[in-house]
Structure 1
Amino acid sequence: MTENKLSIIVSAYNVAGYINKTIESLVAQTNKNFEVIIVDDCSTDNTLEVIKKYEAKYNWIKVVCHAQNAGVSAARNSGLQVVKTDLVTFVDGDDFVEPEYVDFFLSLFNEYDLDMATCGFFNDNGKKNKNTDRQNSFVDRDEAIKQIIKINGTVMGYTWNKVYRTSIIQKNNLSFQTDLDLMEDEVFNVEYATLAQKFYLDNKPLYHYVSRKDSASRKVTIENVRDVGLANLRVYRTIHGFNDREEMK
């Protein structure tokens, strides 16, 4: 059986003070069967200079540059356009991962017929999310969606603690919605989950989420309130539309 290979899409915008740690955590992976696609969203600091140095040093790193700032959704979409591997995941340019992050996911997909797998994560204080005992299980679509839309837990709507089958994304022309600055990942996950069948949820913490004071998600604005409402509406419509289709079968 041919082993799966993973693509890691890293979205980067003005993260010069963070992205060295991000990339070094990928360099330190115990399983090397992956590639990294870093999308620079027209940074105004020296982020591009930093990532270009890594691209020159490692042949498994590819840098994609935006001509103008377009947001994290557009950056992830640009990364998806150049993915050629079986599996794909996303890492933010100010976060980092444990050395066994890649091996954890590849081992799962090589052993089991999965469409999505998740891991747990640490918050920016270095503590495990919800500090619970190890929990893992194979679940059906309904349970996966339930965990994705929960406002707490170790699954939630994030993309960086999940690995996806590229074929499902490409076959269904899935992409991140660029008119949302918040919860765009949850909308993507719900859309993906309605098209997938086999899920494995694990809370083993392998991803370090760093919350910056200047990040868009920390700013409370009218636009953010609008995005949350619009994203929730799209999640509801996706689930409701899928349930209607299932009932018609």
Structure 2
Amino acid sequence: MKNKLSIIMTAYNVADYISSTIDSVIAQTNQDFNLIIVDDCSTDQTQKIIRSYEKNYNWISVVCHAHNAGVSTARNTGLAKANGELVTFIDGDDWVEPNYVEHFISIFDDQDVDMVTCGFFNETESGKIKNKIAKRQTSIVGRDEAVKQIIKMTGTVMGYTWNKAYVRSIIAENNLSFQADLDLMEDQVFNVEYATLARKFYFDNVPLYHYISRKGSITQKFAMENVRDVGVARMKVYKTIRESTRNEKNQI
């Protein structure tokens, strides 16, 4: 049976956290979704845990990579398996509020838009919230403003994928995928590419996703490879925006 939303959850050595992540998805108030968990060749008990959930819930499917290929390839594997009208992404060591799914589905049902966002809590492992949660604000914006908010380093939109839901047909028809050669900012590149192909965007800052900043995660590390990834990602973002602008001018 086809669901309205496909949730793609990527996992790598998150045995200590992934049960809480999956439980938060199970607890959703709107059940019109399926969950695709892509394990990127974990070496701990992650695969055993997610297989047990797959056995107990017919709307959970698990794909296990034979080799560690990185988060971009894991997301691409999930996209290839997704069949929902909409798609979103969750990291295997974070968790979501019970109305996370309801939020996305209800807005897409009510509004003629191509992307919907939510706000998020940026938390430490001990549960301390690091970001300021502002009064709820919503807006419908066009392509230029969407790109501007996606590439900003602050705010509630930014370049993340886990606080956004997308129209899957836009991704499929334009062969959009995550850049497998990037370990950082691959999500921002994907979002900018998607935004240049979409029309209208519903931005909402209501915090529904819990992003947990963990010591030792790739975003916490500073290495020369990361500097290279940031540079390559920024060039790809610039090139995408430039080509989109040129195409719009040619159509006028």
Q: TM-score, normalised by structure 1?
A: 0.97
After TM superposition, the structure 1 = structure 2 runs for residues 25-104 of structure 1, keeping only pairs within 5 Å, are: 25-104=24-103
Seq. identity, %:
64
Letter in 2 for 1:179: D
CA contact (8 A) 2:3 2:83 kept: no
Give the C-alpha shift of residue 248 in structure 1.
Answer: 1.1
CA distance 1:4–1:246, change in 2 (3 Å): farther
- Please tell me the root mean square deviation across aligned C-alpha atoms, in Å: 1.2
After TM superposition, the structure 1 = structure 2 runs for residues 96-135 of structure 1, keeping only pairs within 5 Å, are: 96-124=95-123, 125-127=127-129, 129-135=131-137
Give the C-alpha shift of residue 128 in structure 1.
Answer: 7.3
What is the aligned counterpart of 1:242 among 234, 237, 244?
A: 244
After TM superposition, the structure 1 = structure 2 runs for residues 212-231 of structure 1, keeping only pairs within 5 Å, are: 212-231=214-233
| Cα distance between partner residues in 2 of 1:64 and 1:181 | 20
CA contact (8 A) 1:4 1:109 kept: no
Give the C-alpha shift of residue 73 in structure 1.
Answer: 0.2
In structure 2, what is the equivalent of residue 204 of structure 1? 206
In structure 2, what is the equivalent of residue 163 of structure 1? 165
CA contact (8 A) 1:87 1:166 kept: yes
Task: Report the number of matched residues.
Answer: 247
| Cα distance between partner residues in 2 of 1:109 and 1:40 | 29
| Cα distance between partner residues in 2 of 1:130 and 1:159 | 20
SS across alignment from 1:210: strand
Unaligned runs of 5+ in 2: none
Q: TM-score, normalised by structure 2?
A: 0.96
Letter in 1 for 2:94: D
CA distance 1:34–1:197, change in 2 (3 Å): same
Unaligned runs of 5+ in 1: none
| Cα distance between partner residues in 2 of 1:180 and 1:139 | 29
Matched, 1:11 2:10: yes
